Amino acid sequence: MIEVACAIIVNTSRQILVTQRSAAMKLPLKMEFPGGKVEPGETPAECLLREIREELNLEIRIVAGMPANEHAYPDFSIRLIPFVCEIIGGNIILKEHLCYKWLEAKDLPRLDWAAADIPVVKNYIDLLDID
C-alpha cells in the first residue's frame, strides 16, 4: 500500500485549492487535493511540505490533520492522509498538474475526483457542517 499525503489548502477567502492531474499522470485528468508519496524516513507531514514545494512552488503550514482514507484502485492501493493547510509563501507554479482552481467548499462534490479523494471531500465538508 502506497502512503500519500494530500493538502486541503484553504485561502483567506475560505476557498479550497484543487488541482487537475495531467493527461500523462496515473488517473489522468481527475481532480485531487495536491500532495504525493511519503518517502522512506519521512513523516506524512514532512512529505506534504516537500511535495507542495516541489509541485506547486508553495510554502504551507499544516493547520490540522484529518482521517486517512484507504482505497484500492485496480492496479495499486493507497492510504491517503489529508491535512488542512494554509499558504505562508510562494506563488503557484504548476510543475505536474494540468490546472488548478480555488473553489468554495460547497462546490467540491461536483468535481470529477480521483476515487481516493471522494471520502476526503465528504469528511472535509462534514467537518465544516455545510450542506
Q: List the single range of 30-44, 75-89, 116-130 with lowest mean pLDDT.
A: 116-130
What one-character DSSP code corresponds to residue 115?
G
**pLDDT tens for residues 109-125?**
999 999 999 999 999 99
131 three-state secondary structure = coil
Q: Please give the pLDDT value at position 40.
A: 96
Q: Please give the pLDDT value at position 27.
A: 83
Read off the CATH number of the domain in which 118 is found: 3.90.79.10
What one-character DSSP code corresponds to residue 113?
B
Q: What is the pTM of this model?
A: 0.93
Please give the residue range of the domain that contains residue 89: 2-128
Average pLDDT of 100-109? 96
Domain count, the chain: 1
